[in-house]
Amino acid sequence: MGAHGIEPKETIPASRKLGRDDAAQLAAKASKLIVAKGKKVTTFATKGGPSEEAIDAMLGPTGNLRAPTLVTGKTVMVGFNEEQYESLLIG
């Protein structure tokens, strides 16, 4: 992000664990939820509230919100996929 002159408004350290309730709150504020796990990218519509499947996808094996998590406008992206990040951040 720094290479493109983009600075985060908020950074949460990994020592602060965000769980299912935190993930549900993030997803509820989004109109689009993107979850990346390696090369697999899944997009969820959150109209009417996020589905249990969407919230489950946001969580790692320990039940905590997966990292990195990016919120830009009404879009939330969880996990890392270079093409998706470029698309969201650079346009």
Residues of the chain with pLDDT under 70: 1-6, 91
pLDDT value of position 21: 95
Domains in the chain: boundaries: 2-89
As a whole number of angstroms, the distance between CA 71 and CA 73 comes to 6
CA distances from 49 to 13, 67, 72 (A): 27, 22, 18
CB 50 within 8 A of CB 44: yes
Q: What are 43's two structure tokens?
A: 């997009």
